[in-house]
Structure 1
Amino acid sequence: MKKTGSYLGQNFITNPKLVRKIIELSKITVDDIVYEVGSGRGSLTHELCKVSKSVHSFELDSLLYAYCKENLHFKNLDMVNGDGLNEKLGISFDIFVSNLPYYESRRAISWLCQKNFKKGIIMLQREFVNKLLSKPGDKNYRAISVICQNRFSTRILMDIPRTSFNPIPKVDSQLIELCPKTLSLSKNTIDNIQFLFSFRKKTVSFVINYLNKNYESNIDPNKYSDVKSSKIANLPPYNILNLTMELKANVRETVTIH
Protein backbone atom coordinates (compact mmCIF):
# COMPACT_ATOMS: atom_id res chain seq x y z
CA MET A 1 0.00 0.00 0.00
CA LYS A 2 1.19 3.51 -0.80
CA LYS A 3 2.36 5.39 2.28
CA THR A 4 -0.46 7.61 3.53
CA GLY A 5 -1.58 9.62 6.45
CA SER A 6 1.79 10.77 7.79
CA TYR A 7 0.74 14.40 7.59
CA LEU A 8 -2.21 13.59 9.87
CA GLY A 9 0.08 12.18 12.56
CA GLN A 10 -1.30 8.65 12.40
CA ASN A 11 0.43 5.59 13.81
CA PHE A 12 -1.02 2.32 12.53
CA ILE A 13 -1.46 -0.81 14.64
CA THR A 14 0.67 -3.60 13.18
CA ASN A 15 0.48 -6.13 16.00
CA PRO A 16 -2.39 -8.65 15.47
CA LYS A 17 -2.14 -9.77 19.10
CA LEU A 18 -2.75 -6.19 20.23
CA VAL A 19 -5.84 -5.92 18.02
CA ARG A 20 -7.26 -9.11 19.53
CA LYS A 21 -6.46 -7.89 23.05
CA ILE A 22 -8.24 -4.58 22.42
CA ILE A 23 -11.31 -6.45 21.19
CA GLU A 24 -11.21 -8.71 24.26
CA LEU A 25 -10.91 -5.79 26.70
CA SER A 26 -13.63 -3.81 24.93
CA LYS A 27 -16.22 -6.49 25.74
CA ILE A 28 -18.34 -5.49 22.77
CA THR A 29 -21.52 -7.51 22.22
CA VAL A 30 -23.60 -8.30 19.13
CA ASP A 31 -26.12 -5.70 20.33
CA ASP A 32 -23.62 -2.83 20.40
CA ILE A 33 -23.29 -0.05 17.82
CA VAL A 34 -19.64 0.96 17.55
CA TYR A 35 -18.36 4.40 16.60
CA GLU A 36 -14.73 4.31 15.45
CA VAL A 37 -12.67 7.43 14.78
CA GLY A 38 -9.52 6.78 12.76
CA SER A 39 -9.99 3.65 10.65
CA GLY A 40 -6.36 3.71 9.54
CA ARG A 41 -5.66 0.58 7.52
CA GLY A 42 -8.68 -1.17 8.98
CA SER A 43 -6.99 -3.79 11.17
CA LEU A 44 -9.12 -2.88 14.20
CA THR A 45 -12.19 -2.04 12.10
CA HIS A 46 -12.12 -5.55 10.62
CA GLU A 47 -12.35 -7.17 14.06
CA LEU A 48 -14.91 -4.69 15.38
CA CYS A 49 -17.29 -5.68 12.58
CA LYS A 50 -17.06 -9.32 13.64
CA VAL A 51 -18.23 -8.77 17.22
CA SER A 52 -20.72 -5.88 17.02
CA LYS A 53 -24.16 -5.11 15.64
CA SER A 54 -22.77 -2.36 13.41
CA VAL A 55 -19.74 -0.11 13.00
CA HIS A 56 -19.62 3.54 11.92
CA SER A 57 -15.96 4.06 11.05
CA PHE A 58 -14.52 7.48 10.17
CA GLU A 59 -11.30 8.14 8.31
CA LEU A 60 -10.20 11.64 7.31
CA ASP A 61 -7.39 10.52 5.00
CA SER A 62 -8.90 9.92 1.54
CA LEU A 63 -6.35 7.28 0.53
CA LEU A 64 -6.83 5.30 3.73
CA TYR A 65 -10.58 5.57 3.35
CA ALA A 66 -10.34 4.20 -0.19
CA TYR A 67 -8.11 1.37 1.01
CA CYS A 68 -10.62 0.37 3.70
CA LYS A 69 -13.55 0.58 1.29
CA GLU A 70 -11.73 -1.75 -1.09
CA ASN A 71 -10.60 -4.28 1.51
CA LEU A 72 -13.32 -4.36 4.18
CA HIS A 73 -16.47 -6.13 3.03
CA PHE A 74 -18.93 -6.23 5.91
CA LYS A 75 -22.64 -5.56 5.64
CA ASN A 76 -22.65 -4.03 9.10
CA LEU A 77 -19.90 -1.50 8.26
CA ASP A 78 -20.58 2.15 7.46
CA MET A 79 -17.32 3.70 6.22
CA VAL A 80 -17.22 7.50 6.20
CA ASN A 81 -14.52 9.70 4.66
CA GLY A 82 -14.68 12.57 7.12
CA ASP A 83 -14.16 13.94 10.61
CA GLY A 84 -15.76 11.67 13.18
CA LEU A 85 -15.54 14.41 15.82
CA ASN A 86 -17.75 16.74 13.83
CA GLU A 87 -20.20 18.23 16.32
CA LYS A 88 -22.98 18.30 13.72
CA LEU A 89 -23.09 14.52 13.40
CA GLY A 90 -26.10 13.03 15.17
CA ILE A 91 -25.22 9.33 15.05
CA SER A 92 -26.18 7.35 18.16
CA PHE A 93 -23.74 4.71 19.38
CA ASP A 94 -22.96 2.47 22.34
CA ILE A 95 -19.19 2.02 22.19
CA PHE A 96 -16.60 4.58 21.11
CA VAL A 97 -13.29 3.14 19.86
CA SER A 98 -10.36 5.18 18.62
CA ASN A 99 -6.69 5.14 17.73
CA LEU A 100 -6.72 8.73 16.50
CA PRO A 101 -3.70 11.05 16.14
CA TYR A 102 -2.59 12.12 19.60
CA TYR A 103 -2.90 15.83 18.82
CA GLU A 104 -6.66 15.22 18.62
CA SER A 105 -6.85 13.72 22.13
CA ARG A 106 -8.11 16.80 23.96
CA ARG A 107 -10.73 17.47 21.28
CA ALA A 108 -11.88 13.85 21.39
CA ILE A 109 -12.38 13.87 25.18
CA SER A 110 -14.29 17.16 25.05
CA TRP A 111 -16.45 15.81 22.22
CA LEU A 112 -17.22 12.62 24.13
CA CYS A 113 -18.20 14.59 27.24
CA GLN A 114 -21.12 15.97 25.25
CA LYS A 115 -22.35 12.54 24.12
CA ASN A 116 -24.43 9.81 25.76
CA PHE A 117 -23.00 6.32 25.29
CA LYS A 118 -22.03 3.23 27.27
CA LYS A 119 -18.25 3.14 27.08
CA GLY A 120 -15.18 4.51 25.32
CA ILE A 121 -12.03 2.54 24.47
CA ILE A 122 -9.22 4.86 23.40
CA MET A 123 -5.48 4.68 22.76
CA LEU A 124 -3.75 7.79 24.10
CA GLN A 125 -0.30 9.09 24.84
CA ARG A 126 0.72 8.11 28.38
CA GLU A 127 1.49 11.72 29.28
CA PHE A 128 -2.02 12.77 28.29
CA VAL A 129 -3.55 9.92 30.33
CA ASN A 130 -1.60 11.25 33.31
CA LYS A 131 -3.29 14.61 32.80
CA LEU A 132 -6.73 13.00 32.68
CA LEU A 133 -6.09 11.23 35.98
CA SER A 134 -4.18 14.01 37.78
CA LYS A 135 -5.42 15.16 41.17
CA PRO A 136 -5.89 18.72 42.47
CA GLY A 137 -2.55 20.37 43.13
CA ASP A 138 -0.61 18.08 40.79
CA LYS A 139 1.51 19.82 38.15
CA ASN A 140 -0.45 18.04 35.40
CA TYR A 141 -3.88 18.96 36.83
CA ARG A 142 -5.56 20.92 34.05
CA ALA A 143 -8.99 21.84 32.72
CA ILE A 144 -9.11 18.56 30.79
CA SER A 145 -8.56 16.70 34.11
CA VAL A 146 -11.62 18.39 35.59
CA ILE A 147 -13.70 17.89 32.45
CA CYS A 148 -12.87 14.19 32.23
CA GLN A 149 -13.22 13.41 35.94
CA ASN A 150 -16.61 15.10 36.21
CA ARG A 151 -17.93 13.11 33.26
CA PHE A 152 -16.16 9.75 33.36
CA SER A 153 -14.77 6.99 35.48
CA THR A 154 -11.43 6.34 33.78
CA ARG A 155 -9.48 3.11 33.93
CA ILE A 156 -6.14 2.18 32.37
CA LEU A 157 -6.59 -1.15 30.61
CA MET A 158 -3.05 -1.74 29.38
CA ASP A 159 0.27 -0.25 28.35
CA ILE A 160 0.95 -0.43 24.63
CA PRO A 161 4.53 -0.99 23.37
CA ARG A 162 5.79 1.51 20.81
CA THR A 163 6.74 -1.38 18.57
CA SER A 164 3.05 -2.19 18.08
CA PHE A 165 2.75 0.76 15.70
CA ASN A 166 4.05 1.82 12.33
CA PRO A 167 5.67 4.28 12.19
CA ILE A 168 7.00 3.72 15.70
CA PRO A 169 5.98 6.74 17.82
CA LYS A 170 8.40 8.61 20.05
CA VAL A 171 6.01 8.42 23.01
CA ASP A 172 4.52 5.67 25.14
CA SER A 173 0.83 4.81 24.79
CA GLN A 174 -1.93 3.40 26.96
CA LEU A 175 -5.35 1.95 26.31
CA ILE A 176 -8.01 3.45 28.57
CA GLU A 177 -11.69 2.86 29.27
CA LEU A 178 -14.08 5.77 29.79
CA CYS A 179 -17.39 5.01 31.50
CA PRO A 180 -19.89 7.90 31.80
CA LYS A 181 -20.95 8.56 35.37
CA THR A 182 -23.04 11.73 34.99
CA LEU A 183 -25.20 13.47 32.45
CA SER A 184 -23.28 14.82 29.48
CA LEU A 185 -21.53 18.17 29.81
CA SER A 186 -22.57 20.99 27.49
CA LYS A 187 -20.06 22.80 25.29
CA ASN A 188 -20.77 25.92 27.34
CA THR A 189 -19.86 24.11 30.55
CA ILE A 190 -16.64 22.78 29.01
CA ASP A 191 -15.74 26.26 27.76
CA ASN A 192 -16.37 27.74 31.21
CA ILE A 193 -14.17 25.14 32.92
CA GLN A 194 -11.40 26.04 30.50
CA PHE A 195 -12.03 29.71 31.23
CA LEU A 196 -11.70 29.15 34.98
CA PHE A 197 -8.38 27.39 34.45
CA SER A 198 -6.99 30.50 32.82
CA PHE A 199 -6.94 31.62 36.48
CA ARG A 200 -5.46 28.37 37.76
CA LYS A 201 -2.90 30.14 39.98
CA LYS A 202 -5.45 32.61 41.38
CA THR A 203 -7.66 32.13 44.46
CA VAL A 204 -11.39 31.50 44.30
CA SER A 205 -11.97 34.84 46.02
CA PHE A 206 -9.96 36.65 43.33
CA VAL A 207 -11.84 34.90 40.50
CA ILE A 208 -15.29 35.67 41.97
CA ASN A 209 -14.38 39.32 42.46
CA TYR A 210 -13.00 39.48 38.93
CA LEU A 211 -16.14 37.98 37.44
CA ASN A 212 -18.48 40.18 39.46
CA LYS A 213 -16.55 43.27 38.40
CA ASN A 214 -15.74 42.53 34.76
CA TYR A 215 -18.64 40.36 33.64
CA GLU A 216 -21.39 41.97 35.71
CA SER A 217 -22.10 38.66 37.37
CA ASN A 218 -23.70 38.31 40.79
CA ILE A 219 -21.93 35.38 42.38
CA ASP A 220 -22.28 35.27 46.16
CA PRO A 221 -18.75 34.82 47.60
CA ASN A 222 -20.21 33.54 50.87
CA LYS A 223 -21.22 30.32 49.09
CA TYR A 224 -17.51 29.59 48.66
CA SER A 225 -16.24 30.78 52.04
CA ASP A 226 -14.71 27.37 52.79
CA VAL A 227 -12.51 27.46 49.67
CA LYS A 228 -12.17 31.21 49.02
CA SER A 229 -8.43 31.19 49.76
CA SER A 230 -7.80 28.07 47.64
CA LYS A 231 -6.26 28.36 44.21
CA ILE A 232 -8.30 27.12 41.26
CA ALA A 233 -5.61 24.52 40.56
CA ASN A 234 -6.15 23.04 44.04
CA LEU A 235 -9.93 22.66 43.82
CA PRO A 236 -11.51 19.22 43.36
CA PRO A 237 -13.39 18.70 40.08
CA TYR A 238 -16.84 18.96 41.71
CA ASN A 239 -15.99 22.39 43.22
CA ILE A 240 -14.91 23.69 39.84
CA LEU A 241 -18.05 22.31 38.22
CA ASN A 242 -20.18 24.08 40.86
CA LEU A 243 -18.40 27.35 40.18
CA THR A 244 -18.94 26.76 36.47
CA MET A 245 -22.67 26.41 37.13
CA GLU A 246 -22.52 29.77 38.90
CA LEU A 247 -21.05 31.28 35.75
CA LYS A 248 -23.86 29.88 33.69
CA ALA A 249 -26.52 31.16 36.09
CA ASN A 250 -25.12 34.58 36.88
CA VAL A 251 -23.10 35.87 33.94
CA ARG A 252 -25.05 37.88 31.38
CA GLU A 253 -25.93 35.87 28.28
CA THR A 254 -24.45 38.60 26.10
CA VAL A 255 -21.03 37.89 27.55
CA THR A 256 -19.13 35.01 25.96
CA ILE A 257 -16.69 33.27 28.27
CA HIS A 258 -13.78 31.34 26.74
Structure 2
Amino acid sequence: MSQIDNLPPLRSVIETHGIAAKKSLGQNFLLDLNLTAKIARMAGDLKGSDILEIGPGPGGLTRGLLAEGARRVLAIEKDERCIAALEEIAAVYPGQLEVVNGDALEIDVTGRLEAPIRIAANLPYNIGTELLVRWLSPPTWPPFWTSLTLMFQREVAQRIVAMPGDKAYGRLALLAHWRTDARIVMDLPPEAFSPPPKVSSAVVHLTALPAPRYPADPVMLNRVVATAFNQRRKMLRSALKPMGGDVEGHLTAVGIAPTARAEEIGLEQFCALSRSFSEA
Protein backbone atom coordinates (compact mmCIF):
# COMPACT_ATOMS: atom_id res chain seq x y z
CA MET A 1 0.00 0.00 0.00
CA SER A 2 1.98 2.99 -1.26
CA GLN A 3 -1.06 5.30 -1.19
CA ILE A 4 -3.83 5.58 1.39
CA ASP A 5 -5.75 8.39 -0.32
CA ASN A 6 -5.81 10.39 -3.54
CA LEU A 7 -3.34 12.99 -2.29
CA PRO A 8 0.22 13.27 -3.69
CA PRO A 9 3.17 11.36 -2.18
CA LEU A 10 4.73 13.14 0.76
CA ARG A 11 8.01 13.84 -1.03
CA SER A 12 6.03 15.72 -3.69
CA VAL A 13 4.15 17.64 -0.99
CA ILE A 14 7.43 18.69 0.64
CA GLU A 15 8.91 19.82 -2.68
CA THR A 16 5.76 21.69 -3.73
CA HIS A 17 5.49 23.63 -0.47
CA GLY A 18 9.20 24.02 0.24
CA ILE A 19 9.03 22.24 3.59
CA ALA A 20 12.64 21.31 4.31
CA ALA A 21 12.90 19.91 7.85
CA LYS A 22 14.21 22.43 10.39
CA LYS A 23 16.45 21.26 13.21
CA SER A 24 15.32 24.25 15.30
CA LEU A 25 11.78 22.85 15.28
CA GLY A 26 12.87 19.29 16.06
CA GLN A 27 11.60 18.13 12.67
CA ASN A 28 12.33 14.73 11.13
CA PHE A 29 9.63 13.80 8.63
CA LEU A 30 8.34 10.24 8.24
CA LEU A 31 7.52 9.96 4.53
CA ASP A 32 6.48 6.32 4.15
CA LEU A 33 2.67 6.24 4.21
CA ASN A 34 2.78 2.51 5.01
CA LEU A 35 4.52 3.39 8.28
CA THR A 36 2.30 6.34 9.13
CA ALA A 37 -0.78 4.17 8.57
CA LYS A 38 0.73 1.48 10.81
CA ILE A 39 1.32 4.03 13.59
CA ALA A 40 -2.28 5.21 13.22
CA ARG A 41 -3.46 1.62 13.71
CA MET A 42 -1.32 1.36 16.85
CA ALA A 43 -3.56 4.08 18.35
CA GLY A 44 -6.46 1.61 18.41
CA ASP A 45 -9.95 1.80 16.92
CA LEU A 46 -10.22 5.45 15.90
CA LYS A 47 -13.83 5.33 14.75
CA GLY A 48 -15.90 7.52 17.05
CA SER A 49 -12.84 9.24 18.58
CA ASP A 50 -11.41 12.73 18.27
CA ILE A 51 -7.63 12.76 17.77
CA LEU A 52 -5.15 15.39 18.89
CA GLU A 53 -2.01 15.45 16.75
CA ILE A 54 1.00 17.61 17.61
CA GLY A 55 3.53 18.55 14.94
CA PRO A 56 1.92 16.96 11.88
CA GLY A 57 4.45 18.53 9.48
CA PRO A 58 3.47 17.68 5.89
CA GLY A 59 0.68 15.43 7.18
CA GLY A 60 1.83 11.83 6.83
CA LEU A 61 0.40 10.64 10.14
CA THR A 62 -2.57 12.97 9.72
CA ARG A 63 -3.50 11.14 6.53
CA GLY A 64 -3.07 7.80 8.27
CA LEU A 65 -5.35 8.82 11.15
CA LEU A 66 -8.08 10.03 8.82
CA ALA A 67 -7.78 6.99 6.55
CA GLU A 68 -8.16 4.75 9.63
CA GLY A 69 -11.53 6.35 10.37
CA ALA A 70 -10.83 9.03 12.98
CA ARG A 71 -14.01 10.98 13.68
CA ARG A 72 -12.03 14.21 13.72
CA VAL A 73 -8.39 15.30 13.93
CA LEU A 74 -7.15 18.50 15.55
CA ALA A 75 -3.64 19.15 14.23
CA ILE A 76 -1.43 21.70 16.02
CA GLU A 77 1.45 22.85 13.82
CA LYS A 78 3.95 25.59 14.69
CA ASP A 79 5.60 25.73 11.26
CA GLU A 80 3.64 28.08 8.99
CA ARG A 81 5.17 26.41 5.91
CA CYS A 82 3.18 23.24 6.62
CA ILE A 83 -0.25 24.85 6.90
CA ALA A 84 -1.05 24.92 3.17
CA ALA A 85 -0.18 21.21 2.83
CA LEU A 86 -2.41 20.37 5.80
CA GLU A 87 -5.27 22.44 4.38
CA GLU A 88 -5.09 20.33 1.22
CA ILE A 89 -5.70 17.27 3.37
CA ALA A 90 -8.60 19.04 5.10
CA ALA A 91 -10.20 19.63 1.69
CA VAL A 92 -10.21 15.87 1.01
CA TYR A 93 -11.76 15.15 4.44
CA PRO A 94 -14.39 17.90 4.82
CA GLY A 95 -15.22 18.68 8.43
CA GLN A 96 -12.81 16.07 9.80
CA LEU A 97 -9.54 18.00 10.07
CA GLU A 98 -8.98 21.26 11.94
CA VAL A 99 -5.53 22.79 11.52
CA VAL A 100 -4.24 25.26 14.13
CA ASN A 101 -1.05 27.21 13.51
CA GLY A 102 0.53 27.65 16.93
CA ASP A 103 2.71 26.35 19.76
CA ALA A 104 1.38 23.15 21.37
CA LEU A 105 2.89 24.19 24.69
CA GLU A 106 0.68 27.29 24.77
CA ILE A 107 -2.65 26.15 23.26
CA ASP A 108 -5.52 24.82 25.39
CA VAL A 109 -7.10 22.11 23.25
CA THR A 110 -9.71 20.76 25.65
CA GLY A 111 -12.51 23.00 24.37
CA ARG A 112 -11.84 22.01 20.76
CA LEU A 113 -12.30 18.25 21.18
CA GLU A 114 -15.11 15.90 22.20
CA ALA A 115 -14.66 12.68 24.17
CA PRO A 116 -13.46 10.08 23.66
CA ILE A 117 -10.12 11.72 22.82
CA ARG A 118 -6.90 10.02 21.79
CA ILE A 119 -3.54 11.70 21.26
CA ALA A 120 -1.35 10.44 18.42
CA ALA A 121 1.78 12.21 17.27
CA ASN A 122 5.28 12.03 15.88
CA LEU A 123 6.31 14.54 18.53
CA PRO A 124 8.96 17.15 17.75
CA TYR A 125 12.05 15.95 19.62
CA ASN A 126 12.56 19.27 21.38
CA ILE A 127 9.18 19.31 23.20
CA GLY A 128 8.17 15.64 23.35
CA THR A 129 9.14 14.89 26.94
CA GLU A 130 7.67 18.13 28.29
CA LEU A 131 4.32 17.42 26.60
CA LEU A 132 4.26 13.86 27.94
CA VAL A 133 4.91 15.01 31.51
CA ARG A 134 2.06 17.53 31.19
CA TRP A 135 -0.33 14.87 29.91
CA LEU A 136 0.65 12.52 32.75
CA SER A 137 0.37 15.22 35.45
CA PRO A 138 -3.02 16.96 35.15
CA PRO A 139 -4.61 18.38 38.32
CA THR A 140 -7.38 15.75 38.17
CA TRP A 141 -7.47 12.13 36.98
CA PRO A 142 -8.66 10.54 34.74
CA PRO A 143 -7.37 13.00 32.12
CA PHE A 144 -9.15 14.39 29.06
CA TRP A 145 -7.51 11.71 26.87
CA THR A 146 -7.99 7.93 26.87
CA SER A 147 -4.70 6.94 25.19
CA LEU A 148 -1.42 8.35 23.92
CA THR A 149 0.39 6.94 20.88
CA LEU A 150 3.62 8.89 20.62
CA MET A 151 6.91 8.65 18.79
CA PHE A 152 10.10 9.49 20.69
CA GLN A 153 13.80 8.94 20.40
CA ARG A 154 14.23 5.30 21.43
CA GLU A 155 16.24 6.34 24.49
CA VAL A 156 13.26 8.38 25.74
CA ALA A 157 10.84 5.54 24.94
CA GLN A 158 12.95 3.17 27.05
CA ARG A 159 12.85 5.65 29.94
CA ILE A 160 9.03 5.63 29.79
CA VAL A 161 8.64 1.84 30.04
CA ALA A 162 11.67 1.07 32.26
CA MET A 163 11.31 -0.99 35.43
CA PRO A 164 13.31 -0.93 38.72
CA GLY A 165 16.89 -2.01 38.14
CA ASP A 166 16.91 -0.88 34.51
CA LYS A 167 19.52 1.70 33.57
CA ALA A 168 16.78 3.92 32.09
CA TYR A 169 14.52 3.71 35.17
CA GLY A 170 13.62 7.05 36.70
CA ARG A 171 11.01 9.76 37.18
CA LEU A 172 9.49 9.39 33.70
CA ALA A 173 8.86 5.65 34.16
CA LEU A 174 7.27 6.19 37.57
CA LEU A 175 4.98 8.94 36.24
CA ALA A 176 3.91 6.69 33.37
CA HIS A 177 3.39 3.50 35.39
CA TRP A 178 1.50 5.24 38.18
CA ARG A 179 -1.41 6.25 35.97
CA THR A 180 -1.11 4.32 32.69
CA ASP A 181 -0.29 1.04 31.02
CA ALA A 182 2.74 1.87 28.86
CA ARG A 183 4.50 -0.25 26.23
CA ILE A 184 6.69 0.18 23.18
CA VAL A 185 4.70 -0.96 20.14
CA MET A 186 7.02 -0.12 17.25
CA ASP A 187 10.68 0.63 16.47
CA LEU A 188 11.86 2.81 13.60
CA PRO A 189 15.42 3.12 12.26
CA PRO A 190 16.95 6.51 11.40
CA GLU A 191 16.69 5.85 7.66
CA ALA A 192 12.88 5.84 7.89
CA PHE A 193 13.01 9.63 8.32
CA SER A 194 13.98 12.62 6.23
CA PRO A 195 16.48 13.83 7.21
CA PRO A 196 17.65 10.75 9.14
CA PRO A 197 18.19 11.57 12.83
CA LYS A 198 21.32 10.33 14.58
CA VAL A 199 19.31 7.94 16.78
CA SER A 200 16.62 5.30 16.42
CA SER A 201 13.00 6.07 17.29
CA ALA A 202 10.17 4.14 18.92
CA VAL A 203 6.41 4.47 19.28
CA VAL A 204 5.01 4.20 22.80
CA HIS A 205 1.33 3.48 23.51
CA LEU A 206 -0.01 4.57 26.90
CA THR A 207 -3.56 3.77 28.06
CA ALA A 208 -4.97 5.89 30.89
CA LEU A 209 -6.01 3.91 33.96
CA PRO A 210 -9.33 4.84 35.63
CA ALA A 211 -7.37 5.68 38.80
CA PRO A 212 -3.69 5.65 39.84
CA ARG A 213 -2.32 2.21 40.74
CA TYR A 214 -1.59 3.24 44.34
CA PRO A 215 -2.85 6.17 46.45
CA ALA A 216 -0.52 9.15 46.74
CA ASP A 217 -0.66 12.92 46.58
CA PRO A 218 0.62 13.72 43.05
CA VAL A 219 2.57 16.81 44.14
CA MET A 220 4.30 14.97 47.00
CA LEU A 221 4.98 11.88 44.89
CA ASN A 222 6.56 14.00 42.17
CA ARG A 223 8.70 15.81 44.77
CA VAL A 224 9.87 12.59 46.44
CA VAL A 225 10.69 10.92 43.12
CA ALA A 226 12.45 13.97 41.69
CA THR A 227 14.52 14.37 44.87
CA ALA A 228 15.41 10.67 45.01
CA PHE A 229 16.61 10.55 41.39
CA ASN A 230 18.37 13.91 41.48
CA GLN A 231 21.32 12.07 43.02
CA ARG A 232 20.47 8.56 41.93
CA ARG A 233 23.85 7.06 42.89
CA LYS A 234 23.45 8.11 46.52
CA MET A 235 21.75 6.03 49.17
CA LEU A 236 18.19 7.24 49.78
CA ARG A 237 18.95 8.34 53.33
CA SER A 238 21.32 10.90 51.78
CA ALA A 239 19.53 11.63 48.51
CA LEU A 240 16.28 12.49 50.31
CA LYS A 241 17.80 14.85 52.89
CA PRO A 242 16.35 17.89 51.04
CA MET A 243 12.89 16.56 51.96
CA GLY A 244 13.62 17.43 55.60
CA GLY A 245 12.44 15.62 58.71
CA ASP A 246 13.33 12.09 59.79
CA VAL A 247 14.23 10.64 56.40
CA GLU A 248 15.48 7.32 57.76
CA GLY A 249 12.34 7.02 59.87
CA HIS A 250 10.11 7.44 56.81
CA LEU A 251 12.12 4.91 54.82
CA THR A 252 12.07 2.33 57.59
CA ALA A 253 8.35 2.85 58.23
CA VAL A 254 7.46 1.80 54.68
CA GLY A 255 9.93 -1.07 54.48
CA ILE A 256 12.67 0.61 52.41
CA ALA A 257 16.26 0.11 53.50
CA PRO A 258 17.88 3.50 54.12
CA THR A 259 20.92 2.24 52.19
CA ALA A 260 18.84 1.48 49.06
CA ARG A 261 19.14 3.62 45.95
CA ALA A 262 16.30 5.17 43.96
CA GLU A 263 16.79 2.90 40.94
CA GLU A 264 16.03 -0.14 43.16
CA ILE A 265 12.67 1.10 44.47
CA GLY A 266 9.37 0.23 42.82
CA LEU A 267 6.30 2.38 42.27
CA GLU A 268 4.31 0.94 45.20
CA GLN A 269 7.12 1.74 47.63
CA PHE A 270 7.54 5.27 46.27
CA CYS A 271 3.80 5.86 46.73
CA ALA A 272 3.98 4.56 50.30
CA LEU A 273 6.97 6.80 50.99
CA SER A 274 5.17 9.86 49.61
CA ARG A 275 2.16 9.09 51.85
CA SER A 276 4.50 8.90 54.84
CA PHE A 277 5.97 12.32 54.06
CA SER A 278 2.47 13.73 53.48
CA GLU A 279 1.21 12.45 56.83
CA ALA A 280 4.20 14.07 58.56
- TM (normalized to structure 2)? 0.76
1:25 and 2:42 aligned: yes
1:38 and 2:61 aligned: no
* Deviation digits for residues 117-168 of structure 1 (CA, Å, limit 9, x no counterpart): 2211111111112222222233222211211222221222222232221111
How far apart, in 1, do the equivalents of 2:109 and 2:226 lie?
24
* Deviation digits for residues 48-97 of structure 1 (CA, Å, limit 9, x no counterpart): 23411111111111221343124432312121112334474434552110
1:48 counterpart residue number: 65
1:178 counterpart residue number: 206
The residue type paired with residue 18 of structure 1 is L
User: Alpha-carbon deviation of 1:189?
Assistant: 4.6
Q: Name whichever of 187-196 and 118-127 sits farther off.
A: 187-196
Contact kept, 8 Å, 1:35 with 1:96, in 2: the verdict is: yes
How large is the RMSD of aligned CA atoms in angstroms?
A: 2.9
1:125 counterpart residue number: 153
2:237 counterpart residue number: 205
1:153 and 2:181 aligned: yes
The residue type paired with residue 253 of structure 2 is K
Task: Mark the runs of 5 or more structure 2 residues left unpaired by the alignment.
Answer: 1-16, 138-142
Q: Name whichever of 30-39 and 187-196 sits farther off.
A: 187-196
2:270 counterpart residue number: 240
Contact kept, 8 Å, 2:230 with 2:239, in 1: the verdict is: no
Contact kept, 8 Å, 2:157 with 2:202, in 1: the verdict is: yes
Work out the percentage of aligned pairs sharing the same amino acid. 23
1:254 counterpart residue number: none
Give the number of equivalent residue pairs: 248
1:256 counterpart residue number: none
Task: Mark the runs of 5 or more structure 1 residues left unpaired by the alignment.
Answer: 251-258
Contact kept, 8 Å, 1:5 with 1:64, in 2: the verdict is: no
CA distance change for structure 1 residues 200 and 221 in 2, over 3 Å: closer, same or farther?
same
How far apart, in 1, do the equivalents of 2:89 and 2:251 lie?
61
